[in-house]
Amino acid sequence: MLNMHIGILIYGVGHHLAAWKAHDSQIHRLGDISYYQSLAQTCERGKFDMIFFADNQAFNATHENVMPAMWLDPIVKLSAISQVTNNVGLVCTISGTFMNPYHVARQIQSLQHISKGRMGWNLVTSMTDEEAKNHSMEYLPAHAQRYEKAREFGTIIDKLFESWDEKEGRKNKIKVLPGLVTYVAETEEEAYAKKQALDNMLDIVSSLKMLEFFIHQDTSGWDLDAKVPDLPPLASFTGAKGRYETVLEIIKDKDPTVRELLGYLAAGGGHLTLIGTPEMIVDELEKWLKEGVADGFNFMPPTLPNSLDDFVELIIPELQSRALFREDYHTFTLREHLEI
């Protein structure tokens, strides 16, 4: 039996730029911990391996009026969620650029004990000068400097974990879970209609502003219905290279117009996007799993809670019917869920 792993990146009211306008938007509850607890309980009902919260050390003006997100501290948020769940793993982002290793190790181990072994963490190097200014820096350190510090940061955390008899920081097999965006319905037409309804609510000006943040280009003279102009090669780009590379790959594979590119980036920023019936979507997920491309997927719901409900009620049962995903939890810790 192939054992697919499913996580979820919970972001505000959803990853689509127009999610806050959706009929089921819970935007008024972004500061209410019961909102996140309810989402986590839905994930546990769907037998997810883990839930994941990203973090940002500043409010990004690029997302203003586009992707509202109340940045409650993820460790605090996960601590509260741990008290209303029993099995689902709890993962959050921590910046190695700004944080102190001992303080972080203490936080992680505290939640590890509180959750009875369900804690995980995602080490990042941060992206913007706005974040740096909130930590008494004028500018974000250079890319190479940040990643060198992150390697040192991770090593220190590992050593702190290993100072206990049980080596919580030991390295084992890596699991690859790429991002996944789905629009699912009983018919393909209904699924495409869901995406189109959200795309129709996109604010083009704000979407272009976000694209400029990704590619460091002035788009003011671009024709929305013309092909995307040539962009500089990845090697010469000095911003966030991973996101820029994704944009370049979309342009290479899809040859989109500017308007189409905005649609591709609207939810999930270019991650794998599948639209269709449960059978169609699971066909593709099964192909990725069997060909060894991925060990599972990190779901990025376009809207919350509706897209999550659709995933749990339509896609999870199809995965289970093909013996690709657990029907119940038989493990207790995040490490056991992920088989590492």
Q: What are the extents of the domains in the chain?
A: 5-182+273-338, 203-265
Closest by Cα among 92, 83, 84 to 11: 92
Residue-wise pLDDT tens digits, 10-66: 999 999 999 999 988 999 999 999 999 999 999 999 999 999 999 888 876 655 555
pLDDT of 259 > 90? The answer is yes
Residues sharing a CB contact under 8 Å with residue 267, sequence separation 6 or more, in sequence order: 14, 15, 16, 17, 19, 181, 198, 273, 300, 302
Q: Which CATH number applies to 5-182+273-338?
A: 3.20.20.30
6 strand-pairing partners:
297
Q: What is the pLDDT of residue 169?
A: 45
Residue-wise pLDDT tens digits, 206-241: 899 989 989 999 999 999 999 999 999 999 998 888
Distance CA 280, CA 188 (A): 9
pTM, to two decimals:
0.86
Q: What is the pLDDT of residue 104?
A: 94
Torsion of CA 147, 150, 154, 159, to 10 degrees: 110
Binding residues: 55, 93, 143, 147
Binding residues for FMN: 55, 93, 143, 147
Helix (H, G, I), strand (E, B) or coil at 16: coil
Angle between helices 101-114 and 143-161 (to 10 degrees): 50
